[in-house]
Structure 1
């Protein structure tokens, strides 16, 4: 067996299952889960219809590079969304089976196993980043998010001897679980480091379309363009962006996303994926074209999240240290004032009020002497507003039993 498999940690939800294994939730309450970040808003009817109308696509083998129609729709969306100059759909865009699969696969394609490479990851983080690093034969290096920096990471704290070994840097903006969005200044610093030390930036932007202010989150390709780094001779050098329809269009089961950016990297990544078997069904591709070409359903989806967060966040602020995030559908709450750790809070809330939240320490690793997820919980506000409000009321009631 691959010895790197022994380095993998249990997934957060397996840890949660073990935490709840001996707990019987209060039967007086209907179960409500805020634990998993799975979109629960209905899938738009026109996307469902597009799947039905293209079922003949099931009778053909899809190509890894995808159809010209899908690559064109994605390129056009990138240009509209981020005010970019012409994105070449033939060389700068590649459809993928969801951003999760592609985030993992990119590490396998770009890391030299014999180079003792380092993969930089934010902490807390999406666990795929860590697993991708280990299984590519690299060592993850965690940079803790700092509440004083709007949960940004201090990349300047990384020693030069570490930077010299870095092959890949994962960035999640908007962040999971913090919801933080990188600023133009932060992107400028990362691009300068990438140029100096010659590593690839993997920008995970799958939460980009769920935001709570009027200004859309800044994207990595957009930042490169604004900084004058998207040069004609080598556009988006060492930058690969990942996005997905799962959250934007409420279709997590379609497993439809894309990667875009550096054409030289994507050429090699396409070669890898041809062998890896990462082709998207033609039926799903046709439905994806319909989804990327429509913004009305995205605006309606975003409005639902905004209304939900605006109703729920003030309730929870009564008892927890929590703020409205820049973007995303998570609340990242500090439970320290309850006197309970994050795991104790989650376990007792489940036992007494049948509400599931995810302990923040499960989403992070101890690095530089601390676990930045400790004493925090992640709440995924993915269900309808009424269910989210009921969960919030129970959390408030639970906290008040701890400190009347």
Structure 2
């Protein structure tokens, strides 16, 4: 067996299952889960129709490169959203959901012949980053998020002797679970570090279309273009961006996303995925073309989240330290004022009010003396508005009962 498998941690939801073992939730309440970030808003009918009307495509093998219409639809969306022009043939690659691609990119770019390879990750983080690091033969190096920096990572705090071993950096903006976004100054710092040390940047932007202010979050490709990195002999050097339809269009079961950016990396990643069998099915490709080509459903979806957050956040602020995030559909709340640990809070809330939340310590690792998730909970406001509001009211009552 691959010995690297022994380095993998249980997934957060497995830890949650163990935490809830032996607990019988209060039967007076219907269950409400804020634990998993699975969109619950309805899938738009036109996407379902596009999928159903192209089932004849199941009779053919798809190419890993994807269809010309799909790559063009993605490139057009990137240009519309970020003002970035990409070559759909060489700088865009459809993938079966960003999770698969975020995992695979480490196997593509990590040079196992170089001892001591590191993959830099934010902390807390999406656990796929850590697993990808270990199974590619590297090790994760965590940079803790800082509440004083709006949960941003201070890359200036990384010791100088760490950087030469970094081969891949995962960046999640908007962040999971914090909702924090990178500024232009942040991207400038990251690009300069990449230029100096030669590591690849994997920018996870799956939550980019759910934002709560007036301005859309700055994208990595957009920042690179503004900083003059779109031209020359190696456009978007060392940068690839990952995005998905799951949150944007409420189709998590369709498993559809893309990788875009530096053509040399995309070319190698295409080669890697050709061997993995990572081709997207033709019906899903057709439905994805429809989804990437429409913005009205995205605006409607975003407005639902904005309404939900505007109702829920003030209620929860009465009993815990929580703020409206920059973007995403999570609330990252500090519950230390309750006198309970994050695990105790989640377990008792489930037992007494039948509401599931995720302990923050499950989403982070002990690094540099602390676990930055300790004492926090992640709440995924993915259900419809009425259910989200009901969950918030139960949490408020739970806290008042303590």
Question: Which residue is 2:197 aligned to?
Answer: 197
SS in 1 for 2:304: helix
Distance in structure 1 (CA, Å) of the matches to 2:213 and 2:337: 28
Q: Deviations over 1:111-153 (max 9, x none)?
A: 0122121000000000000000000000100000000000000
Aligned pairs for 1:351-366 (under 5 A) are 351-366=351-366
Matched, 1:15 2:15: yes
Distance 2:268 2:113 in 1: 18
Q: CA deviation at 1:232?
A: 3.4
Shift of 1:157: 1.0
Q: In the alignment, what sits opposite 1:320?
A: 320
Moved more, 226-235 or 173-182: 226-235
State how far apart, in whole Å, the 2-side matches of 1:393 and 1:36 are. 19
- State the match for 2:41 in structure 1: 41
Give, in angstroms, the shift of residue 40 of structure 1. 0.2
> Counterpart in 2 of 1:104?
103
Could you tell me which residue of structure 1 aligns to residue 279 of structure 2?
Answer: 279
Aligned to 1:93: 92
Aligned to 2:180: 180
Output the CA distance in 2 between the equivalents of 1:60 and 1:119. 38
User: 1:80-126 deviations in whole A, cap 9, x for unaligned?
Assistant: 10011x21000000000000000000000110122121000000000
Aligned to 1:261: 261
Residue 113 of structure 2 is matched in structure 1 by: 114
| RMSD after superposition | 0.5
Alpha-carbon separation, structure 2, partners of 1:95 and 1:263 = 14
Q: SS of 1:164's equivalent?
A: helix
User: C-alpha distance in 2, partners of 1:234/1:76?
Assistant: 21
* Pairing of 1:2-401 with structure 2 (within 5 A): 2-84=2-84, 86-115=85-114, 116-401=116-401
* Cα distance in 2, alignment partners of residues 277 and 295 from structure 1: 31
Moved over 4 A (4+): none
| 1:141-196 deviation line (CA, Å, top 9, x unaligned) | 00000000000001011112110000000000000000000000000000000000
- Could you list the per-position Cα deviations for residues 312-334 of structure 1 after superposition, in whole angstroms to 9, with x for gaps in the alignment? 00000000100000000000000
- Separation (CA, whole Å) in 2 of partners of 1:229 and 1:94: 20
Aligned equivalents of 1:282 and 1:31: distance in 2?
A: 37
SS at match of 2:170: strand
How far apart are the structure 1 equivalents of 2:347 and 2:340?
10
Q: Which moved more, 1:208-217 or 1:105-114?
A: 105-114
Per-residue CA distance 1:327-367 (angstroms, 9 max, x = gap): 00000000011000100000000000000000000000000
Structure 1: distance between partners of 2:234 and 2:368: 37
TM-superposed CA distance for 1:220, in Å, is 0.1
SS at match of 2:291: helix
| Partner-residue secondary structure (3-state), 1:161 | coil
Secondary structure of 2:322's aligned partner: coil
For 2:73 and 2:389, the matched residues in 1 are separated by: 37
What is the distance in 2 between the residues matched to 1:318 and 1:158? Answer: 37
SS at match of 1:275: helix
For the residue of structure 1 that corresponds to 2:286, the secondary structure is helix
By how many angstroms is 1:203 displaced?
A: 0.1
SS at match of 2:113: helix
What whole-Å deviation, never above 9, does each CA across 1:49-74 have from its counterpart, x for those lacking one?
00011010111000000000000000
For residues 262-304 of structure 1, the C-alpha deviation after alignment (integer angstroms, 9 at most, x for no partner) is: 1001111100000011000011000000000000000000000
Report the TM-score, using the length of structure 2 for normalisation. 0.99
CA distance in 2, matches of 1:195, 1:22: 52
Question: Structure 1 stretches of 5 or more lacking a match?
Answer: none
The superposition leaves residues 8-46 of structure 1 with CA deviations (integer Å, 9 ceiling, x where unpaired) of 000000000000001110111110000000000000000
